[in-house]
Structure 1
Amino acid sequence: MTPPSIVVTGASGGIGRALATQLGRAGWRVVAVGREADRLSDVPALARVVADVTTPEGAAAALAGAQAALGEAPAHLAHCVGSTLIAPLHRTKAEAYRELMRVNLDSAVFTLQAWLTARAGGPGAAVFVSSVVARTGVASHEAIAAAKGGVEALVRSAAATYAPQGVRVNAVAPGLTETPMTAKMLSVPAQREAAAKQYPLGGVQSADEVAAVMAFLLGPAGARLTGQVLPVDGGFTSVRPLVR
């Protein structure tokens, strides 16, 4: 039996790298996509494709590269591209907002579009990365909440459209996660401790923990799940922590 195939975008980031590593160890044929060749060079994968998936042309190039490496269109997609912006809306400049939407929402739309086109009506599974801030109000996160809220809406609508073809589309919504993007904030002990106390299960989760849930959604154990957004957040969006 041919091992499952997947294209992982944002593969040089914390969650994307963790997922590519986990799936590779499980025997999947992984094509890693990122914007910078040097950051992508040590990601464990069958092939690595340098592309900017925030444009239709870049997303199409990423899927074309994956298809060339695999000899077929990848049956699975994990879209892990993302950035963040922590600022109240009245201090958010238009340029920063547009860049945030480009990286988070445009990339999701164009990558899913390119993958579906490459699949040409065949079955498959895709998983995206949202955020807890799209699911509950968190101060000074208006722009990123809007972007990730768009990703969640995209997931639900695409799941409805393509279910008859056997395509499943889901997402995870992580809480604060230890990645290169959060390293600066978490390097300050007081900030790390304060952030960890917001989560009922305590602590700061790892990229591996988020990636494991994404792998579940992509694999046969998640075969009856589509249009879902699973919070991977230590209880942040559903219960209040007991602060001592």
Structure 2
Amino acid sequence: MASFLLIAASSDIGAATDRMLRAEGHRVVTTARSTDRIQPDTVLDAADFDAVDAAVAAAGDLDGIAVFAGSMLLKPAHLTSRAQFDDIVAASLATAFAAVRAAGAHMRSGGSVVLVSSAAALAGLPNHDAIAAAKAGVIGLTLSAAASYASRGLRVNAVAPGLVQTRLTAGLTASATSRHVSEAMHPLGRLGEPDDVARAVAFLLDPANDWITGQVLGVDGGLGSIRPRQRA
């Protein structure tokens, strides 16, 4: 049995990962911003460095930490306010940095940190300017932190999902037309499900996979990396 801390576990992907890890018999500690969706072990703002540090310290010996915090904003840069940009960076990048910082301080015997980037950081998608900037920062953090902590056996990896059907993205597929457009963007022809990403997170958290670090795993139906032939 391994022990994991899931930060922002109230997200749909976080909740799916929680269920998956518990079903495998692992110990899971959770955090969330509020008790509206789940009853977390700790209520905190995942962008609060001190609060995350305290949560990691309180969780005891951990084999891994995964961070699921994020937000959605689809606007070009010139229509994005500074406040909106700051919110995106706080939700997607500051939360990831807070977790890496706490893991570096407390996981002295190694383990795994899994962050969440996005296919938008790998492929040029219109109106994803702020999200792409923040999620690209997560990739840079993943690579640098993996190098910083490799000698201690602390692995840092990321998943980069495409469009996953969650409460956060529900508005993007509200109509049949918008859903069809979104599906067509993904070479495999469908949108993701929370379990698709949760399986990848669980894989990277697993202590058995301790020869993997500094990797960004696209869980995106091919969106971030391939351009297939058009379907007839």
After TM superposition, the score normalised by the length of structure 1 is 0.91
Q: Give, in whole Å, the separation in 2 of the partners of 1:221 and 1:196.
A: 34
Q: How big is the shift at 1:223? A: 2.1
Say which is worse superposed, 208-217 or 32-41, in terms of deviation. 32-41
Runs of 4+ more than 4 Å apart: none
| Residue number in structure 1 paired with 2:169 | 182
Which of 61, 66, 83 is the aligned partner of 1:78? Answer: 66
Q: Give, in whole Å, the separation in 1 of the partners of 2:172 and 2:222.
A: 21
Root-mean-square deviation (CA), in Å? 1.3
Q: How big is the shift at 1:222? A: 2.5
Which of 219, 224, 228 is the aligned partner of 2:206? Answer: 219
Indicate yes or no: 2:26 matched with 1:33: no
8 Å Cα contact 2:162/2:223 also seen in 1: yes
Which consecutive unaligned segments of at least 5 residues does structure 2 have?
Answer: none
Q: How big is the shift at 1:221? A: 4.7
Q: Give, in whole Å, the separation in 2 of the partners of 1:213 and 1:141.
A: 24
After TM superposition, the score normalised by the length of structure 2 is 0.95
Q: How big is the shift at 1:202? A: 0.6
Indicate yes or no: 2:53 matched with 1:55: no
Which of 4, 7, 24 is the aligned partner of 2:5? Answer: 7
| Residue number in structure 2 paired with 1:94 | 82
8 Å Cα contact 1:50/1:62 also seen in 2: no
Aligned positions, number: 231
Q: How big is the shift at 1:243? A: 3.3
**1:103 partner letter:** A
Q: How does 1:205-216 map to 2 (within 5 A)?
A: 205-216=192-203
Q: Give, in whole Å, the separation in 1 of the partners of 2:56 and 2:225.
A: 37
8 Å Cα contact 2:103/2:113 also seen in 1: no
Q: Give, in whole Å, the separation in 2 of the partners of 1:101 and 1:236.
A: 23
Q: How big is the shift at 1:74? A: 1.7
Q: Give, in whole Å, the separation in 1 of the partners of 2:31 and 2:181.
A: 34
Q: Give, in whole Å, the separation in 2 of the partners of 1:220 and 1:35.
A: 28
Q: Give, in whole Å, the separation in 1 of the partners of 2:156 and 2:57.
A: 21
8 Å Cα contact 2:123/2:225 also seen in 1: no
Which of 186, 208, 223 is the aligned partner of 1:236? Answer: 223
- Residues 128-175 of structure 1: CA deviation (Å, up to 9, x unaligned): 110001011111111111100111100100100111111111000000
Q: Give, in whole Å, the separation in 2 of the partners of 1:60 and 1:131.
A: 25
| Residue number in structure 2 paired with 1:44 | none
Q: Give, in whole Å, the separation in 2 of the partners of 1:240 and 1:158.
A: 31
Q: Give, in whole Å, the separation in 1 of the partners of 2:188 and 2:87.
A: 33
**1:9 partner letter:** I
Q: Give, in whole Å, the separation in 1 of the partners of 2:210 and 2:106.
A: 21
Q: Give, in whole Å, the separation in 2 of the partners of 1:146 and 1:94.
A: 14
Q: How big is the shift at 1:220? A: 4.0
Q: How big is the shift at 1:38? A: 2.6
8 Å Cα contact 1:40/1:48 also seen in 2: no
Which consecutive unaligned segments of at least 5 residues does structure 1 have?
Answer: 42-46
Which of 179, 193, 208 is the aligned partner of 2:180? Answer: 193
8 Å Cα contact 1:15/1:210 also seen in 2: yes
8 Å Cα contact 1:53/1:62 also seen in 2: no
8 Å Cα contact 1:104/1:147 also seen in 2: yes
